[in-house]
């Protein structure tokens, strides 16, 4: 009926096509708007899960000490241990699979709200390696693009059409529907996987210690390197005491990583303490590991105590407490 | 330039708008320039290779047509040698050289021939085969030689099907470049619907499954038999959705401008035997091999042993066409073997079906036949996807035990993968067996029809993988 009326009014195929296409696009944009807003509402309504932890770190925490880093930060730094040792409240803002660019974006949001007293940044081997498609992992920041302008320049590094894609209401929540749904139920709360951002791992490594050969001849990603420098500068400008650490790996092979050498040199130049535990022999014990790059909860407790003691030795801590 | 990129979206909008704006006599030029731009967006220099073969085949076509009987064959041979040489140099040289080195090593000798450090020009096997079909058809007298160099170039370079087919025949495509295509609502909307469906298959299914398949197949020793089994099933759907998505998009793009390209896939996983599978899978290539290799070899009108040899050889060459690796050759040989075995065992299978009464329950019979065919095809896909032959055998060994835990990196992504396969099969099942019933995408009601396509776009936004890679068949 509708089609016949439109066709009679516009006798040419082209006008007919334009009208029908406009109606179709209107339908698509309406659905995108409604579903996008619904997903946004439920995303920020989550009370548990990793997305909730990320939102908490970005928008809510007021902890004195913040931990930044990837999965190794999430699994290696126990806030309760650091709190007890340092006498400061602590929150682990690490996120699985996230690079330095993610940490910088979160830092910018945090500093806009308040200035923590201390930040511990955990860096990985090959942290600055240039990897094609490595900015894809910044997708976890997409839900914050609209409400956090300070993050935009970093999110837009995902690709030159990112701004255009973000016109869609659904796109920031791409592939996240199930996670959002679970985050709005009691399921995650019952599982209790996280403790102030810390995610304990419970397995014990039973195989022999592997002999990994880490690649050394990789190219350095200038954006990642720049993000590291900006991270240090932003902390300095905000008078935040920054500690940088490289937590341990389970490997027989002692290694010298290019990224760690660069990170160390920059930290030294900027007068920032750098704790390199990547080759720390007392921590090369299989029973302390869940898998080769990740400590289990016993290892994390040991390591958190070690870091706290190291911090206590530095002169910076005296001015904070 | 990938179909699944914004770069291509802008390109398509500009080219299509211009196509319906410029006078008919200049449209071939617009399409040719656009196709050159499209091809050069990959590796610009390789357009020269394409250019050389176009020039050779163009003149070969004219020469074949105007030459006397004896010389016609000579010109055809020159054209075929030129095309096959390009394929051999860019696609097979290093593979042959590697195997030669291996052979020399066996005799304790060193191979003095150096390896070539060259990239395989994108879609080389596709446009080479399309060019070869032109000279062969001119030779056979089924096609007049094209005198317009621009239009002949466009036949080889037409951007929708330039890099991954469908491999067209000159009788179907060449004349279409001379026809005046008006903007027709029905045709344009049908083309756009095919494009949306193609994007759905690529982004929601193929690229989603690719994440799991790559994680497992690229690290075979660390994965269990169960994970490898799941990854193999996933790969069957990944490659189908990846390749048929490209074909759908290509056919849709051409349709929008008024061109008709041949159908390339027809729900292959509903095939009841291997022969039927090959009539439904990559139809443009299967028919190419049938017309230009199988039938000239004698087809099935020869003594039985020779017929089996013909079948085996065609599939062996088909495997080699896909890639310069033993994995593809074994995959081709396996499919050839399947067909021969199916012919040999036909009588026995008929007897068996009769004795167990399977042929009296058609629905169960269809189900059993489809499942067996799918299983055989999946088994062959192991060789197609494995990085090395040794990997393929490790995978088969591990799958045969079906032991170990299932690798699940992210439970929700696994659920998306399974749901995507389920959704695809539901739609294909309906199209295969209940074509006229419960219409959503072809519903007469405008709102239902458009809501169905709008939902498809919403599903793409919700579950599509936007950081996925290029189409698998680009490498061929």
DSSP B90-108: IIIHHHHHHHHHHHHHHTT
Tokens of A105: 């974006």
Give dist(CA B339, CA B346) in Å, integer: 10
DSSP B294-355: ITTTTTTSS-HHHHHHHHHHHHHHHHHHH-SSHHHHHHHHHHHHHHHHHHHTHHHHHHHHHH
Q: Are A75 and A295 spatial neighbours (Cβ–Cβ below 8 Å)? A: yes
pLDDT at B229 over 90: yes
pLDDT at A6 over 60: no
Q: Are A300 and A75 spatial neighbours (Cβ–Cβ below 8 Å)? A: yes
Distance from CA of A174 to the nearest CA of B (A): 5
Size of interface A-B (CB pairs under 8 A): 65
- Are B462 and A177 in contact (CB < 8 Å)? yes
Q: Which pLDDT score is estimated for A103?
A: 95
Q: Which pLDDT score is estimated for A93?
A: 93
Q: What is the 3-state secondary structure (H, E, C) of chain A?
A: CHHHHHHHHCCCHHHHHHHHHHHHHHHHHHHHHHHHHHHHHHHHCCCCCHHHHHHHHHHHCCCCEEEECCHHHHHHCCHHHHHHHHCCCEEECCCCCCCHHHHHHHHHHHHHHCCCCEEEEECCCCCCECCCCHHHHHHHHHHHCCCCHHHHHHHHHHCCCHHHHCCCCCHHHCCCHHHHHHHCCCHHHHHCCCECCECCCCCCCCCCCCCCCCCCCCCECHHHHHHHHHHHHHHHHCCCEEEEEECCCCCCCCCCCHHHHHHHHHHHHCCCCEEECCCCHHHCCHHHEEECCEECHHHHHHHHHHHHHHHHHCCHHHHHC
- pLDDT band at residue A53, thresholds of 50, 70 and 90? confident
- Tell me whether A216 touches chain B (CB under 8 Å): no
- Give the residue, B181 or A213, on which the prediction is more confident: B181
Tokens of B322: 């896909």
pLDDT at B476 over 70: no
Of B183, B415, B464, the CB nearest to A178: B415
Q: Which pLDDT score is estimated for B219?
A: 87
- pLDDT band at residue A9, thresholds of 50, 70 and 90? low
Q: Contacts of residue B466 in chain A, CB cutoff 8 Å?
A: 165, 171, 174
pLDDT at B474 over 70: no
Q: Each residue of B32-76: pLDDT tens digit?
A: 999 999 999 888 888 998 899 999 999 999 999 998 877 899 999
Of A16, A170, A178, the CB nearest to B185: A16
Q: Which pLDDT score is estimated for A170?
A: 95
Give which of B95, B414, B40 is closest to B226, Cα–Cα.
B414
pLDDT at A183 over 70: yes
Q: Which domains does chain A have, with CATH numbers?
A: 60-159+191-320 (3.40.50.1110)
Tokens of A79: 């806030």
Query: Which distant-in-sequence residues (6+ apart) come within 8 Å of B423 by Cβ?
Result: none
Q: Which pLDDT score is estimated for A320?
A: 59
* Residue length of chain A: 321
Q: Which pLDDT score is estimated for A8?
A: 55
- Tell me whether B405 touches chain A (CB under 8 Å): no
Give which of B85, B398, B423 is closest to B216, Cα–Cα.
B398
Of B183, B451, B466, the CB nearest to A13: B183
Tokens of B150: 């621009």
Element housing B192 (H / E): helix B185-199
Tokens of A89: 């409240």
Element housing B228 (H / E): helix B225-256
Q: Are B231 and B223 spatial neighbours (Cβ–Cβ below 8 Å)? A: yes
Q: Which residues pair with A243 in a beta bridge?
A: A120
- Give the residue, B450 or B405, on which the prediction is more confident: B450
Q: Mean of the pLDDT values across residues A85-108?
A: 92
- pLDDT band at residue B449, thresholds of 50, 70 and 90? confident
- pLDDT band at residue B171, thresholds of 50, 70 and 90? very high
- Tell me whether B281 touches chain A (CB under 8 Å): no
pLDDT at A3 over 70: no
Q: Are B191 and A21 spatial neighbours (Cβ–Cβ below 8 Å)? A: no
Give which of B206, B122, B118, B119 is closest to B162, Cα–Cα.
B122
- Tell me whether B11 touches chain A (CB under 8 Å): no
Query: Which residue has tokens 């990112």?
Result: A162
Q: Is B224 left (phi over 0), alpha (psi -120 to 50) or beta?
A: beta
ipTM > 0.85 for the complex:
no
Give dist(CA A153, CA A144) in Å, integer: 12
Q: Which pLDDT score is estimated for B108?
A: 84
Give dist(CA B215, CA A11) in Å, integer: 54
Q: Each residue of A243-268: pLDDT tens digit?
A: 999 999 888 777 778 899 999 999 99
Q: Which pLDDT score is estimated for B104?
A: 85
pLDDT at B167 over 90: yes
Q: Which pLDDT score is estimated for B469?
A: 61
Q: Mean of the pLDDT values across residues B119-133?
A: 88
Phi, psi of A90 (to 5 degrees): -140, 145
Lowest mean pLDDT among A194-198, B155-159, B172-176, B373-377: A194-198
- Tell me whether A219 touches chain B (CB under 8 Å): no
Q: Which pLDDT score is estimated for A317?
A: 60
Give dist(CA B209, CA B217) in Å, integer: 12
Angle at B255 between CA B251 and CA B258, to 5 degrees: 145
- pLDDT band at residue B408, thresholds of 50, 70 and 90? confident
Query: Which residue has tokens 């490898």?
Result: B228
Q: Mean of the pLDDT values across residues B283-295?
A: 95
Lowest mean pLDDT among A28-42, A280-294, B273-287: A280-294
- Tell me whether A14 touches chain B (CB under 8 Å): yes
Distance from CA of A48 to the nearest CA of B (A): 16
- Tell me whether A213 touches chain B (CB under 8 Å): no
Domain boundaries, chain B: 6-180, 187-463
pLDDT at A198 over 80: yes
Query: Which residue has tokens 């709102």?
Result: B447
With a pLDDT cut of 70, the percent of chain A lying above it is 92
Query: Which distant-in-sequence residues (6+ apart) come within 8 Å of B147 by Cβ?
Result: B62
Q: Which pLDDT score is estimated for A189?
A: 62
- Are A174 and B466 in contact (CB < 8 Å)? yes
Q: Which pLDDT score is estimated for A215?
A: 74
Give which of A270, A259, A264, A274 is closest to A221, Cα–Cα.
A259
Give which of B398, B172, B403 is closest to B283, Cα–Cα.
B172
Q: Are B256 and B16 spatial neighbours (Cβ–Cβ below 8 Å)? A: yes
Q: Are B65 and B138 spatial neighbours (Cβ–Cβ below 8 Å)? A: yes
Give dist(CA A23, CA B155) in Å, integer: 36
Compute the Cα dihedral for B172, B175, B177, B183 and give only its sign.
Answer: negative
Alpha helices by DSSP H, listed for B117-148, are 124-140
pLDDT at B311 over 70: yes
Nearest residue in chain B measured CA to CA from A177? B462
Compute the Cα dihedral for B73, B78, B83, B87 and give only its sign.
Answer: positive
Give dist(CA B296, CA B426) in Å, integer: 40
Tokens of B309: 């040899």
Q: Which pLDDT score is estimated for B201?
A: 95
Nearest residue in chain A measured CA to CA from B468? A133
pLDDT at A230 over 60: yes
- Are B458 and A32 in contact (CB < 8 Å)? yes
Nearest residue in chain B measured CA to CA from A162? B6
Give which of A204, A198, A195 is closest to A307, Cα–Cα.
A198
pLDDT at A7 over 60: no
Mean pLDDT score of chain B, rounded to an integer? 90
Give which of A69, A87, A106, A79 is closest to A247, Cα–Cα.
A69
Q: Mean of the pLDDT values across residues B419-425?
A: 94
- pLDDT band at residue B100, thresholds of 50, 70 and 90? confident
- Tell me whether B444 touches chain A (CB under 8 Å): no
- pLDDT band at residue A208, thresholds of 50, 70 and 90? confident
- pLDDT band at residue A10, thresholds of 50, 70 and 90? low
Distance from CA of B214 to the nearest CA of A (A): 15
Q: Is B322 a catalytic residue?
A: yes
Tokens of B67: 């030459």
């Amino acid at each position: 009926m509708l089609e016949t009326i439109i066709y009679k009014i516009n006798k040419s195929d082209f006008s007919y096509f334009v009208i029908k296409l406009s109606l179709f696009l209107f339908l698509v944009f309406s659905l995108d708007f409604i579903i996008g807003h619904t997903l946004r509402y439920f995303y920020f309504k989550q009370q548990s899960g990793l997305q909730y932890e990320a939102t908490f770190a970005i928008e809510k925490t007021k902890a004195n000490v913040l931990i930044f880093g990837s999965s190794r930060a999430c699994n290696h730094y126990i806030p309760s241990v650091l709190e007890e040792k340092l006498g400061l409240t602590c929150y682990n803002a690490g996120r699985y699979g996230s690079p330095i660019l993610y940490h910088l974006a979160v830092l910018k949001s945090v500093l806009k709200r308040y200035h923590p007293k201390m930040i511990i940044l955990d860096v990985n081997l090959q942290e600055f390696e240039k990897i094609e498609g490595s900015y894809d992992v910044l997708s976890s920041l997409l839900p914050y693009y609209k409400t956090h302008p300070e993050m935009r320049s970093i999110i837009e590094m995902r690709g030159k059409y990112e701004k255009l894609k973000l016109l869609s209401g659904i796109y920031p929540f791409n592939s996240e529907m199930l996670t959002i749904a679970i985050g709005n139920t009691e399921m995650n709360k019952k599982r209790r996987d996280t403790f102030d951002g810390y995610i304990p791992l419970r397995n014990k490594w039973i195989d022999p210690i592997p002999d990994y050969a880490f690649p050394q001849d990789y190219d350095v990603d200038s954006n990642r390197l720049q993000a590291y420098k900006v991270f240090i500068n932003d902390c300095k400008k905000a008078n935040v005491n920054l500690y940088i650490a490289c937590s341990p790996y389970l490997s027989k092979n002692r290694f010298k990583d290019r990224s760690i050498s660069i990170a160390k040199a920059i930290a030294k130049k900027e007068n920032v303490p750098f704790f390199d535990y990547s080759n720390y022999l007392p921590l090369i014990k299989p029973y302390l590991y869940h898998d080769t790059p990740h400590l289990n909860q016993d290892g994390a407790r040991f390591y958190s105590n070690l870091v706290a003691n190291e911090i206590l030795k530095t002169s910076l801590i005296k001015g904070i407490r | 330039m990938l179909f699944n990129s914004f770069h291509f979206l802008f390109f398509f909008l500009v080219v299509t708008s211009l196509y319906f704006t410029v006078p008919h006599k200049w449209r071939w030029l617009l399409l040719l320039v656009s196709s050159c731009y499209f091809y050069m967006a990959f590796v610009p220099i390789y357009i020269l290779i394409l250019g050389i073969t176009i020039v050779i085949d163009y003149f070969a076509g004219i020469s074949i047509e105007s030459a006397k009987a004896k010389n016609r064959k000579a010109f055809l041979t020159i054209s075929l040698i030129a095309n096959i040489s390009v394929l051999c140099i860019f696609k097979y040289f290093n593979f042959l050289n590697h195997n030669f080195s291996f052979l020399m090593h066996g005799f304790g000798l060193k191979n003095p021939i150096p390896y070539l450090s060259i990239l395989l020009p994108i879609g080389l096997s596709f446009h080479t085969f399309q060019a070869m079909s032109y000279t062969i058809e001119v030779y056979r007298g089924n096609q007049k030689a094209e005198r317009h160099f621009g239009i002949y170039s466009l036949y080889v370079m037409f951007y929708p099907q330039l890099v991954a087919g469908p491999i067209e025949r000159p009788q179907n495509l060449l004349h279409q470049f001379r026809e005046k295509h008006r903007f027709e609502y029905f045709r344009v909307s049908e083309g756009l619907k095919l494009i949306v469906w193609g994007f759905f298959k690529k982004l929601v299914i193929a690229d989603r499954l690719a994440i799991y398949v790559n994680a497992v197949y690229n690290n075979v020793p660390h994965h269990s038999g169960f994970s490898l089994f799941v990854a193999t099933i996933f790969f069957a759907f990944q490659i189908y959705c990846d390749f048929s998505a490209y074909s759908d998009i290509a056919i849709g793009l051409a349709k929008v401008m008024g061109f008709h390209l041949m159908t390339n896939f027809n729900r292959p996983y509903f095939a009841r035997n291997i022969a039927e599978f090959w009539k439904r899978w990559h139809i443009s290539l299967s028919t190419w091999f049938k017309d230009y290799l199988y039938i000239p070899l004698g087809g099935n009108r020869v003594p039985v042993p020779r017929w089996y040899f013909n079948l085996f050889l065609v599939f062996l060459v088909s495997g080699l066409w896909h890639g310069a690796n033993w994995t593809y050759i074994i995959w081709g040989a396996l499919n050839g073997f399947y067909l021969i075995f199916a012919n040999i065992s036909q009588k026995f299978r008929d007897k068996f079906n009769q004795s167990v009464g399977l042929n009296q329950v058609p629905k169960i019979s269809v189900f059993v036949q489809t499942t067996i065919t799918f299983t055989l095809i999946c088994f062959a896909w192991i060789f197609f996807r494995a990085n090395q032959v040794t990997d393929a055998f490790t995978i088969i060994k591990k799958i045969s035990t079906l032991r170990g835990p299932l690798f699940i990196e992210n439970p929700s992504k696994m659920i998306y993968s399974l749901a995507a396969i389920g959704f695809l099969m539901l739609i294909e099942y309906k199209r295969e067996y209940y074509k006229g019933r419960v219409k959503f995408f072809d519903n007469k009601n405008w709102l239902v029809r458009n809501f169905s396509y709008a939902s498809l776009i919403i599903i793409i936004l919700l579950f599509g993988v936007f950081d996925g890679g290029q189409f698998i068949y680009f490498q061929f």
